[in-house]
Amino acid sequence: MENVSTGYKVQEPASVRPAKAKSGFWLVVLGAALWGVDPLFRIILLRALTSAQIVLLEHVIIALIAIPVLWKNRGELKGMSMKHLGALLFISWGGSAIATILFTMGLANGNANAVLLLQKLQPLFAIILASLLLKEKLPRHFSILFLIALAGTYFLTFGFAIPIGHWNEFVQVGSLLSLGAAALWGGSTVMGRLMVGQMKYETVTSLRFVLALPLLLAVTWNEGAAWNLPSGTYDLSLVGLNLLGQALLPGLLSILVYYKGLTTTKASVATLAELSFPMVGVLINWIAFQQIVTVPQVLGFLLIWFVLFAISRQNSASAA
């Protein structure tokens, strides 16, 4: 395999490589699954703060943890090429700052079903970029597996219903914002795979949040919105706890796990692993909001996990 801190080839026993490829795939699945708890925190915070303010504050919290890590690994920044600097800016400004703002605004202004469904377009953007930039070869039967995964996400979102006469929900502001977030996150998958071959994943993760701060400060300042923090001690504590939970769980922890898995997982494969996000969304709705899981949702769950299992087996076999 390739050493992620130096980029040089490191010889390992053949029996080790398939195991690492398989574990890396499931780490990507776990990292993406942690994103499923994101709306729990974010929707509550939207009652008191704007989208830009929420994203700025969560980045400030994570930066306090990331800066010491970045200082420790500062030697990795020496001799960085313009290509890798561009990739880092895309990840931090596009995937971390702008995409998160767009997604948060989409939740506030759009139909939730449309916002979630449009996020499944991320693999399309990532596969195109992976083919162009990383020259990655697609898994066998990829087109069929991808269609099965899309069918699963459709059932999770719409059930067996066909939204005839409701397509206007997909062209409203919230849906356009969600589409922009999907494009930026899909591109960040590819850029992240490009960077983990040059730096430790901890360094890439730290740069992702630290480099985004200047842009977020500029966006929030230009927005000019008031900071409508609640005055009561209980309500203020609730906002603080939600900010902390949002920053550490679906924010920092998910990205750390995700990039760790990405070190041994192709970007085009990782995009399908990210489909674990809607499955967690179903479980969250069931546990937190007592929404009973329907037959179509169970079917969608099974279809997506069939795809994840099939690609995991294929990924392990190719690594061998």
pLDDT in tens, 235-263: 778 888 888 888 888 877 887 888 788 77
- Residue 36 main-chain phi, psi, to 5 deg: -65, -20
Neighbours of 231 (CB within 10 A): 7
**Does the pLDDT value for residue 9 go beyond 50?**
no
pLDDT in tens, 157-170: 677 777 665 555 55
Mutual angle of helices 16-34 and 276-289, in 10-degree steps:
40
Question: If we measure between CA atoms, which residue out of 53, 69, 21 comes closest to residue 206?
Answer: 69
Q: pLDDT tier at 123 (50, 70, 90 boundaries)?
A: confident
DSSP label at residue 155 = H
Q: pLDDT tier at 1 (50, 70, 90 boundaries)?
A: very low
How much is the average pLDDT of 68-83? 87
Looking from the CA of 311 toward its CB, the CA atoms found within 13 Å total 32
pLDDT in tens, 14-24: 444 566 667 88
Average pLDDT over all residues of the chain: 78
Distance CA 312, CA 99 (A): 28
Q: pLDDT tier at 319 (50, 70, 90 boundaries)?
A: low
Q: Which residues contact 83 (CB under 8 A, 6 or more apart)?
A: 194
Put simply, whether the predicted model's pTM sits higher than 0.85 gets the answer no
For residues 219 and 101, is the Cβ–Cβ distance under 8 A? yes
Give me the pLDDT at residue 90, please.
94
Question: If we measure between CA atoms, which residue out of 98, 79, 95, 97 comes closest to residue 87?
Answer: 95
Q: What is the amino acid identity at position 235?
A: D
Distance CA 282, CA 292 (A): 9
Cα-based distances in Å from 207 to 27, 28, 32, 123, 212? 20, 19, 19, 24, 8
Q: In the chain, what is the straight-line distance between the N-terminal and C-terminal CA atoms, in Å?
A: 11
Distance CA 141, CA 135 (A): 18
Distance CA 131, CA 125 (A): 10
- Beta-bridge mates of residue 9: 2
Q: Provide the percentage of residues in the chain whose pLDDT is more than 90.
A: 14
The most confident of 3-17, 93-107, 141-155, by mean pLDDT? 93-107
> Which one is predicted more confidently, 204 or 315?
204
How much is the average pLDDT of 4-9? 28
Question: If we measure between CA atoms, which residue out of 202, 183, 168, 223 comes closest to residue 51?
Answer: 223
> Over the Cα atoms of the chain, what is R_g?
20
Long-range contacts (CB closer than 8 Å, 24 or more residues apart) made by 294-298: 294/159, 296/155, 296/156, 296/158, 296/159, 296/160, 297/155, 297/156, 297/159
Q: pLDDT tier at 89 (50, 70, 90 boundaries)?
A: very high
